[in-house]
Structure 1
Amino acid sequence: MDQPTASTSASTSVYVRRVGIAVGIVLAVLFVLGLLGTAFSVFLRLLAALLIALPLRAGAAWVHRRTRLPEGLALLLVALLVVGALGGMGYLFSTRLSEQLSGLQQELPQAVRDVQARVGGTRWGQWLAGENLDYRRLMGGSSEWLGRATGVFSTTLSVLADGYVILFLAVFLAVQPKLYRSGLVLLVPQSHRARAHEVLDKISDTLVKWVVGRLVSMAVVGVLTVVGLGLLGMPMAAVLGLFAGLVTFIPNIGPVVSMVPALLLAFLNGGPHMALYVLLLYLGTQTLESAAVSPVVQQRLIALPPALVLVGQLVIGAFTGLLGLTLATPIIAMAVVLVKMLYVQDVLGDDAVQV
């Protein structure tokens, strides 16, 4: 009787040990994935800081070559010019923009009510009304809205904190780039440090060109939107055009977001026909930017396969959110540079491939 009991106890012990090992492996994998997620989140903020610091350094280098000013003074001059340009634009348009923003704030609620009234006059709108849908219940009660408001407030604080960190990182990187580059290159074997500097130079050049390309696309979209809305007689054309240009920096989502306030105002001021014209204007502007402006600019600056960019945006955006989606293209550009230089050229020995 003792032998079966001992055998059962041993089998149970082995089973428990195996379960413990399996649980330990799962926890270790989850821990590693969490570390990788945190590291990639930090990397995204570092990349955002680099996208600010590197163009400033490039501008300072250009001023240094042209004027022979010390690099530090040239950087200060470029930074002051950028801040001054932004401040000057804000001062010149502050009065008009504030008036238009005030009008936009007042007219948007009316536009929403007008859309609801027009929808209620249609057959499907009357059908929805006949269904006695409790919109308050669908949208959530007061506690639900309070939770959403709290979430928006915490998200805003998180964005402001990220912006603060990114801005200060950009300042440090712009002021002392050689310090951080030297520390990074020290991690590479001494025989490969010259190549490491070449790779870092190419990555820096690629990121600067990407920023320049995005600024050109944003400017084109903003100007075309302002001109088009002005020709259509739409109010607040400057605000809507500025908003359309700014959100163009965010791929895929930005153009859709920029349409919403313009369509509501068009519906309010001119009815469905005006809304249709505004929709066609936005679609035409974004199509022109996506099919003509952006490819030409990017081809002259950095050559990336469009399908690769789209897949990268979908994958990175799905795992990292809006910031990852916004920075997906420069991440892909960096990856392409690394693969071509470190694998194709150095490992495969194919020096004919251009980077």
Structure 2
Amino acid sequence: MEQPTPFNRLSQSAYVQRVLVAVGLALLLLGLLGLLGLAFSVWLRVLAALLIALPLRAGGDWLHRRAGLPAGLGLLLVTLVVAALLGGMVWLFSARIGEQVEGLQQQLPQAIHDVQLRVQGTEWGQWLARENVDFTRVTGGTSEWLGRATGIFSTTLSVVADGYVIIFLALFLALQPKVYRAGLVMLVPKAGRPRANEVLDCISSTLVKWVLGRLVSMLFVGVFTWLGLTWLGMPMGAVLGLFAGLVTFIPNIGPVISMVPAVLLAFVHGGPHQALYVVLLYLAVQTLESAAVSPLVQQRLILMPPALILIGQLIIGSFTGLLGLTLATPIIAIIIVLVKMLYVQDVLDDDSVAV
């Protein structure tokens, strides 16, 4: 017996209308998802501004308490000191780093090519050749590697462009934090506003501690990487050390990223033995940072589970790119505070869990 078709049960116009409604709902859902992604991208930039504004404000408040200065004057002094330090670093290293970055751009293609030749000359490289494995295809080739590097640098430039907006937003937030905070607390029912203030205080303190901890780790890794590379006779030690210190801002993944250009250059200038020494240097610096510096910083500032950080980076970074990957850890820190205070303490009534 012939099965009835949609056109047997409904008129053609009604069926078309249902199809159009389904398509419209699908497009609406896609539009809402796009808006959510855009909104999350905006909130990432707001969070980046908060990570600048909160430490500046905390420094100004510290001067206000210790030296009796007006809060606004303390904020101004802290901002000027930070700006002077950053400007001094740029002025001291700009000429040398500029030359070294140019040299790095010129030597990286040759370094990649030399790595390919050296691997092909090894026993396991010859085994890959016998197995008909195209090493150039596996590594992507020099042009593809340069294309990927160009994509990374273009993404970085996009983040730098966003930095102007983030910096100005941070200044506005640091100048009048009470205004924005009061507006946020106003959205909470009156009975919950005292608790909302407690939660915001804890989040602010957590973010400030995290920034301070990252700065200590960045300084340690940058300085000791620079000294170690200089001791090994590696060229461009300053720019490689600065790069290692900067990407340390990204926990777990940053140290791996920082090692790649240094190892490639070591292959060019000293061969496999030099590359091995560079790998050992980076491992030693990261081990010292993880075993000595981070525990000391975490004990005094903030404790974050490494596995949870890595999971958050993988999830958030896959949706939001470089900025989301960089800010994954403070996002996790905020979520931890909210879960502990609003769920564990308030809903489960368990005050034994410290924040």
TM-score scaled by structure 1?
A: 0.84
| Residue in structure 1 matched with residue 280 of structure 2 by the alignment | 280
Change (3 A) 1:295 1:31: farther
Change (3 A) 1:342 1:216: same
| Residue in structure 1 matched with residue 26 of structure 2 by the alignment | 26
Deviation at 1:318? 1.2
Deviation at 1:352? 2.6
CA contact (8 A) 1:251 1:325 kept: no
| Residue in structure 1 matched with residue 213 of structure 2 by the alignment | 213
Q: Secondary structure at the match of 2:348?
A: coil
Matched, 1:167 2:193: no
Deviation at 1:168? 1.1
| Residue in structure 2 matched with residue 10 of structure 1 by the alignment | 10
CA contact (8 A) 2:54 2:208 kept: yes
CA contact (8 A) 2:229 2:278 kept: yes
Root-mean-square deviation (Å): 3.5
Structure 2: 5+ residue runs without aligned partners? Answer: none
Change (3 A) 1:155 1:90: closer
| Residue in structure 2 matched with residue 242 of structure 1 by the alignment | 242
Matched, 1:302 2:302: yes
Deviates further, 268-277 or 45-54: 268-277
| Residue in structure 1 matched with residue 270 of structure 2 by the alignment | 270
1:311-330 matches, within 5 Å, as 311-330=311-330
Tell me, in whole angstroms, the C-alpha distance in 1 between the residues paired with 2:337 and 2:276: 43
Q: Which amino acid aligns with 1:336?
A: I
Deviates further, 238-247 or 284-293: 284-293
Deviations along 1:140-176, whole A, 9 cap, x unmatched? 9x9x999989967864653333111111111111111
Q: Which amino acid aligns with 1:180?
A: Y
Deviations along 1:70-125, whole A, 9 cap, x unmatched? 11111110011111112223334445444544544554454345445545655747
Tell me, in whole angstroms, the C-alpha distance in 2 between the residues paired with 1:181 and 1:310: 31
Deviations along 1:223-261, whole A, 9 cap, x unmatched? 221232233222222221111111111234322221222
Q: Which amino acid aligns with 2:293?
A: V
Q: Which amino acid aligns with 1:219?
A: L
Deviates further, 218-227 or 287-296: 287-296
Q: Percent identity?
A: 71
Tell me, in whole angstroms, the C-alpha distance in 2 between the residues paired with 1:229 and 1:58: 36
Deviation at 1:178? 1.1
Deviation at 1:39? 1.1
1:61-80 matches, within 5 Å, as 61-80=61-80
1:142-181 matches, within 5 Å, as 155=155, 158-181=158-181
Tell me, in whole angstroms, the C-alpha distance in 1 between the residues paired with 2:108 and 2:182: 53
Deviates further, 235-244 or 196-205: 235-244
Deviates further, 225-234 or 236-245: 225-234
CA contact (8 A) 1:243 1:258 kept: yes
Deviations along 1:197-234, whole A, 9 cap, x unmatched? 11111110000001011111111211221232233222
CA contact (8 A) 2:263 2:278 kept: yes
TM-score scaled by structure 2?
A: 0.84
| Residue in structure 2 matched with residue 45 of structure 1 by the alignment | 45
Tell me, in whole angstroms, the C-alpha distance in 1 between the residues paired with 2:45 and 2:212: 19
**Number of positions where the alignment pairs a residue of Structure 1 with one of Structure 2:** 350
Change (3 A) 1:213 1:347: same
| Residue in structure 1 matched with residue 194 of structure 2 by the alignment | 194
